[in-house]
Amino acid sequence: MTNKPQSLYIHIPFCEHICTYCDFTKLFYFGKYEKDYLDSLIKEIESYHINKVKTLYFGGGTPTALSDAGFERILTFAKQYLADDYEFTVEANVENLTESKLLIMKKVGVNRLSIGVQSTNDKLLKEIGRNHTFEDAKRVISLAKGLGFDNINIDLIYGFKRQSLRQLKKDLANFIELDIDHISIYSLIVEPGSILYTKGVKEQREGPSRKFYEVILKTLRANGYERYEISNFARNGKYSRHNMTYWKNQEYYGCGLGASGFVSGNRYTNTKSLREYNNLNFVKENSPVSPEENLEYYLITNFRMEQGFSRQEFKQKFGRDFEDLFGDKIKRFFLTNLIDITPDRIKLTDEGLLLMDFVILKLM
Amino acid sequence: MHYDKKHIRNFSIIAHIDHGKSTLADRILELTETVSQREMKEQFLDSMDLERERGITIKLNAVTLKYHAKNGEDYLFNLIDTPGHVDFSYEVSRSLAACEGCLLVVDATQGVEAQTLANVYLAVDNNLEIVPVINKIDLPSAMPDMAKREIEERIGIPADNACLVSAKTGLNVGDVLEAVVNYIPSPMGDDNNPLQALIFDSYYDSYRGVIIMVRVKEGKVKVGDTIHLMAANKNYLVTEVGIRNPKEIKTDELCAGEVGYISAQIKDIKDVHPGETVTLLSNPAKEALPGYRKMNPMVYCGLYPVDSKKYLDLKDALEKLTLNDASLVFEPETSQALGFGFRCGFLGLLHMDVVQERLEREYGLDLILTAPSVIYHVYKSDGTMIALDNPSKLPDLTTIKEIQEPYVKAQIMTPKEYVGAVMDLCQNRRGIYLNLEYFDDTRMIATYELPLAEIVYNFFDKLKSFTKGYASFDYEYSDYKVGNLSKMDILLNGDVIDALSIIVYKGSAYERGSVVVRKLKEIIPRQQFEVPVQAAINGKIIARADIKAVRKDVLAKCYGGDISRKKKLLEKQKEGKKRMKAIGSVEVPQEAFMTVLSIDDD
């Protein structure tokens, strides 16, 4: 391939506490696993012969659950792959985003933080298995800002069945008060494999969920945040460059336990078994993406962006005009008020974004 | 190698479903070393995947075997396996016409069942020698003496010589082969007479065209002969003859008494019908063989390709299926909702099911079936009568004097403790009680006249569940009776969907209307707008349910690993969509067209 991926994702699967909604690959943190894992991880990253990437993202699990030494080692190792104009994000939990971790990041050159605040309601935080309070969150955010981190994202979850609209509005008000540039806001999904699923907790019903989303959209927009992706809002142009790789259906390296990647036209998923991983059997599934599949992937991802995609790029990639391919279906299924076709771009309308999965299924 | 007629035996096996017919055939194939252990699959003659999966025989299947008998002589057996289900009795009559005898397999734990009776009567009608075989004697609950007594008392044929076997373990199966030699007559016929060969089956080969399976009754046929199909009045040059064991083996000729295949570059499927007589152009027979009793379809439904572009493919596939399924009939029809398709006639619901599955599997078609309907006789005020096979074509009400519907006379055999439940079921389905009698100490036979429309849909399933699977059921067509009937239309988004119209009994119309709209509401995927579903009789709405609009349908987060997961999920939904038909802007799944027959809440 002439165009090598410009993004690298690195997965740190360790957690000190397991959040009840989480279905990602994760393990309770035990110091003895750490060294072996990082050794294997470094070998995997090296195996790709990466030249330079523009974005680097440490996710988890909880990257900040690592020991300070391990944390510094892996961050420093990965940093060598970054080009000059880079974005380097590390995910952190409030409870283990210590001053020493922040200093390490500062030293290595991390320039974006993503902090799992999740809620500003202490009771709810406890219920979902988070071990921090909103006061704690405020404290670490001001600590981070004080150390010069000016590109911070916080995560918010909404849509617990018993959550009231008043609680949501309170969350939003609190979040806005934090005065940060990026907010990711997700409706709760009870995934099979999560503790909530085992407990039989249900998601919010569709009607209220829509109402909540509308309130979020309106409130954040009114406060100067731009929705650039279905669940992501930014001010001052502080988009997540790394995540936009995903949403533009571009290739990326994915390294670490259970990570997935998209390299040289193949999508792959790594093993979730630590033993296998430490035996250096990294990849579990790997399959080439056919042109038809790629079209589906393209829509699944690009339609998530408020700006959709450019007609010209679409034609370049797939050889035909979007309307040529889908015009009939758009007309037949009355999708015209869900898909906005402008002279240069194809995007979903506000209503279309709410019904994105429905729209894509109709187009398939 | 050539066998004289004295050393040929043509026989079939008849049995009730599940009594072990195909397993016995497997053992016979093994014992005669026709099929090596390596090639042996269970239920070998059930060559369709569908047959193996469901454990039923759908199509007759002929195979030639060699047998070295205890008397030291070699015999050639032609075994023709037949289906057991009531829907397929026509297949049974076809194979019987090609045989001199048959094995009657009776399950030693179950005894004689209603369907067994029907098939034995067919065999007796064909003057066949019947050899009773009592199967499953290895089971602890086997009662071979009871089974023998029932064969003698209920059917009226001697059973003291019955073979007692276990087809599963192979116990005494050798006795069966000896019984075939000793009791089943060798074929008659003279090689020197003009050729008379009965076509009992045919199949399509993309290289050689239609291959016909024949039983030669008189004369002989060889490569290079020009054959004449007497009913179709067509001539063909024979390029190959042979037997099947069950793989094709070329032979020089087929003589009187033998069973085999003929390939004669027959290109047009329509020229070949089971029951047809083959003779030679140069020395024709004076008359054709009696052929088969033609079975009339009892149940009709519309068959449409999901993708309208596949209409011609469907036509082609239906034509090929009729090659060896003479009872399948079809003619083109058009539906406003579904486009171009065919109205097809079947012998029963299982037959319909099987045809649908064969079309989908063997021809890769995705189909929409409308609810099965019987043929109504609609008498108009002007004295004319219309045979109505499609409810949506019911003429204007003001022109109709009365509607008559077909009834069947049903005999239900059940253990006596379930007789109450069986009678309730028949009453609920508008049955007319005729008779109730003891069959033996533990079982009773209830006889009812029932509207065919009532048994078309899940009557058999209900019967099975009410009697824990113990009841058996047989029916024959009786006559037409006036019914208090009217047409129920279903409206989707305000438009009548013609493919969903059904004829209903007025007494239960309201109830059925509300069940149907409720079921449709569950089945039809939601749209971005609300879609009302209504049931109407004579333009009057009798029930309504609304399919709520989709309010929010989007994956909250979608990062690296989520993308592939989302794609897989989408893939699954797409699979489901394959069986949906877009009617206007609403995509309606296949099963929706069956829900109009929903009767209750299960």
- Kindly report whether the peptide bond that precedes residue B246 is cis, defined as omega within 30 degrees of 0: yes
> Is the pLDDT assigned to residue B120 strictly greater than 50?
yes
Contact status, residue A224 vs residue A215, Cβ threshold 8 Å: no
Residue B151: half-sphere exposure toward Cβ, Cα within 13 Å: 28
Closest residue by Cα to residue B98 from B370, B318, B292: B292
Chain A nearest-CA distance from B578, in A, is 11
Residue type at position B199: I
Chain B nearest-CA distance from A261, in A, is 7
Residues of B in contact with A267 (CB under 8 A): 563-564
The pLDDT, as a whole number, for residue B39 is 58
Chain A nearest-CA distance from B560, in A, is 6
> Is the pLDDT assigned to residue B6 strictly greater than 50?
yes
Chain A nearest-CA distance from B431, in A, is 46
SS3 B561: helix
**Residue B514 and residue B600: Cα distance in Å, rounded?**
10
Q: Which residues contact A272 (CB under 8 A, 6 or more apart)?
A: A25, A257, A258, A284
Tell me the mean pLDDT in the region B305-332.
87
SS3 B505: strand
> Is the pLDDT assigned to residue B26 strictly greater than 90?
no
- Residue B294: band (very low, low, confident or very high) from pLDDT cuts 50, 70, 90: low
> Is the pLDDT assigned to residue A1 strictly greater than 50?
no
**Residue A317 and residue A293: Cα distance in Å, rounded?**
13
**Distances in whole angstroms, Cα of residue B284 to Cα of each of A219, B39, B290, B425, B564:** 93, 41, 16, 55, 69
> Is the pLDDT assigned to residue B548 strictly greater than 50?
yes
Q: What is the SS3 assignment for chain A?
A: CCCCCCEEEEEECEECCCCCCCCCCCEECCHHHHHHHHHHHHHHHHHCCCCCEEEEEEEECCHHHCCHHHHHHHHHHHHCCEEEEEEEEEEEECCCCCHHHHHHHHHHCCCEEEEEEECCCHHHHHHCCCCCCHHHHHHHHHHHHHCCCCCEEEEEEECECCCCHHHHHHHHHHHHHHCCCEEEEEECCCCCCCHHHHHCCCECCHHHHHHHHHHHHHHHHHCCCEEEECCEEECCCCCCHHHHHHHCCCCEEEECCCCEEEECCEEEEECCCHHHHHCCCCEEEEEECCHHHHHHHHHHHHCCECCCEEHHHHHHHHCCCHHHHHHHHHHHCCCCCCEEECCCEEEECHHHHHCHHHHHHHHC
Beta bridge partners of B103: B13, B131
Contact status, residue A166 vs residue A120, Cβ threshold 8 Å: no
> Is the pLDDT assigned to residue B47 strictly greater than 70?
no
Contact B577 A296 (CB under 8 A): no
Enter the tokens of residue B177.
Answer: 């082969």
The pLDDT, as a whole number, for residue B37 is 54
SS3 B391: helix
> Is the pLDDT assigned to residue B119 strictly greater than 50?
yes
Least confident of A86-90, B203-207, B365-369: B203-207
> Is the pLDDT assigned to residue B24 strictly greater than 60?
yes
Residues of A in contact with B582 (CB under 8 A): 332-333
The pLDDT, as a whole number, for residue B602 is 45
User: Which of A287, A355, A359, A364 to probe by mutation at the B interface, max B CB count within 10 Å?
Assistant: A355
Residue type at position A83: A
**Residue B212 and residue B214: Cα distance in Å, rounded?**
6
The pLDDT, as a whole number, for residue B127 is 83
Least confident of B93-97, B128-132, B587-591: B93-97
Closest residue by Cα to residue B457 from B512, B420, B520, B377: B512
SS3 B520: helix
**Distances in whole angstroms, Cα of residue A252 to Cα of each of A26, A38, A76, A81, A248:** 21, 20, 20, 13, 11
A175-217 tens-digit pLDDT: 999 999 999 999 988 877 777 777 777 788 888 999 999 999 9
Residues of B in contact with A213 (CB under 8 A): 552
Contact status, residue B437 vs residue B513, Cβ threshold 8 Å: no
Closest residue by Cα to residue B22 from B124, B149, B167: B167
Percent of chain B with pLDDT over 70: 89
Residue type at position B180: V
Chain B nearest-CA distance from A265, in A, is 13
Rg of chain A taking only CA atoms, in angstroms? 21
User: Which residue did the predictor score with more confidence, A303 or B95?
Assistant: A303
Contact status, residue B132 vs residue B106, Cβ threshold 8 Å: yes
Question: Which chain B residue has the Cα nearest residue A185?
Answer: B556
A207-257 tens-digit pLDDT: 899 999 999 999 999 999 999 999 999 999 999 999 999 999 999 999 999
Interface membership of B121 toward A (CB under 8 Å): no
Strands B339-346 and B248-251: unpaired
Closest residue by Cα to residue B399 from B379, B419, B418, B413: B379
Chain A nearest-CA distance from B513, in A, is 28
> Is the pLDDT assigned to residue B310 strictly greater than 80?
yes
- Residue A108: band (very low, low, confident or very high) from pLDDT cuts 50, 70, 90: very high
Contact status, residue A36 vs residue A204, Cβ threshold 8 Å: no
Question: Which chain B residue has the Cα nearest residue A356?
Answer: B554
**Residue B174 and residue A163: Cα distance in Å, rounded?**
76
Enter the tokens of residue A112.
Answer: 């974006």
> Is the pLDDT assigned to residue B155 strictly greater than 90?
no
**Residue B86 and residue B119: Cα distance in Å, rounded?**
9
Tell me the mean pLDDT in the region B511-536.
90
User: Which of B554, B567, B586 to probe by mutation at the A interface, max A CB count within 10 Å?
Assistant: B554
> Is the pLDDT assigned to residue B273 strictly greater than 80?
no
Closest residue by Cα to residue B521 from B548, B488, B551, B490: B548
Contact A246 B560 (CB under 8 A): yes
Residues of A in contact with B572 (CB under 8 A): none
Percent of chain A with pLDDT over 70: 98
B216-228 tens-digit pLDDT: 999 999 999 999 9
* Option in B551, B557, B574 nearest A186 (CB): B557
Tell me the mean pLDDT in the region B358-385.
89
Burial A193-208 (b: 16+ CB within 10 A, else e): ebbbbeeebeebebeb
The pLDDT, as a whole number, for residue A110 is 97
Beta bridge partners of B543: B535
> Is the pLDDT assigned to residue B398 strictly greater than 50?
yes
Q: Which residues contact A32 (CB under 8 A, 6 or more apart)?
A: none
Contact status, residue B131 vs residue B50, Cβ threshold 8 Å: no
B457-507 tens-digit pLDDT: 778 778 878 887 778 777 777 889 999 999 999 999 988 988 889 898 888
**Residue B521 and residue B361: Cα distance in Å, rounded?**
29
Mean pLDDT over each residue of chain B, to the nearest integer: 84
Residue B228: half-sphere exposure toward Cβ, Cα within 13 Å: 15
What DSSP string describes B156-185? ----TT-EE-BTTTTBTHHHHHHHHHHHSP
Interface membership of B36 toward A (CB under 8 Å): no
Contact A357 B574 (CB under 8 A): no
Q: Compute how many other C-beta atoms are within 10 angstroms of the C-beta atom of residue B171.
A: 15
Percent of chain B with pLDDT over 90: 34
Residue B212: half-sphere exposure toward Cβ, Cα within 13 Å: 31
- Residue B353: band (very low, low, confident or very high) from pLDDT cuts 50, 70, 90: confident
Q: Rounded to a whole number, what is the distance in angstroms from the first to the last CA of chain B?
A: 60
* Option in A184, A258, A334 nearest B585 (CB): A334
Contact A210 B559 (CB under 8 A): no
User: Which residue did the predictor score with more confidence, A321 or B557?
Assistant: A321
> Is the pLDDT assigned to residue A279 strictly greater than 90?
yes
- Residue A112: band (very low, low, confident or very high) from pLDDT cuts 50, 70, 90: very high
Tell me the mean pLDDT in the region B304-318.
91
Contact status, residue B31 vs residue B79, Cβ threshold 8 Å: no
The pLDDT, as a whole number, for residue B600 is 58
Contact status, residue B304 vs residue B310, Cβ threshold 8 Å: no
